[in-house]
């Protein structure tokens, strides 16, 4: 599994790709820094991914976990692959929930 990609959560909605580059670049060369946005509105979803050129750089950037960026404490961890079954519907339309008789 690739350990060069970080998940960055709990982001303020004003954080941009450039803000991420600035915050994470002291730890090494960044291949990509991308805030994830809603497809319909284009608004930030409050999380991002930062990919470094080396695993060592990504590991050292984990020290940013709990540090503030634009007034909110970031959650930084190694990104993990989601399985096809883990993509979910956000709780909508799937099995389970309240049964109606």
- Locate the domains of the chain by residue range: 5-80
CATH number among 3.40.50.2300, 3.30.930.20, 3.30.70.330, 3.40.50.1370, domain 5-80:
3.30.70.330
Residue 94: what pLDDT? 52
- The owner of tokens 């099995």 is 95
Of 94 and 66, the one with more pLDDT: 66
At 15, the pLDDT band (50, 70, 90 cuts) reads very high
Instruction: Quickly list DSSP for 23-77.
Output: HHGGGS-EEEEEEEE-TTT--EEEEEEEEESSHHHHHHHGGGTT-EETTEE-EEE
As given in the structure block, the two tokens for residue 45 are 């979803």
pLDDT at 61: 98
2/15: higher pLDDT: 15
**Two tokens at 100?**
């109606």
pLDDT surpassing 80 at residue 1: no
């Amino acid at each position: 599994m690739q350990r060069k990609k970080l998940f960055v959560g709990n982001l303020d909605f004003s954080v941009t790709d450039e803000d991420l580059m600035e915050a994470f670049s002291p730890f090494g060369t960044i291949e990509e820094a991308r805030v994830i946005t809603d497809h319909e509105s284009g608004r930030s979803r409050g999380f991002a991914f930062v990919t470094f050129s080396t695993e060592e750089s990504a590991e050292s950037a984990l020290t940013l976990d709990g540090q503030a960026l634009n007034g909110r404490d970031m959650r930084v961890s190694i990104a993990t692959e989601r399985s096809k079954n883990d993509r979910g519907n956000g709780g909508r339309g799937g099995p389970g929930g309240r049964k109606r008789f």
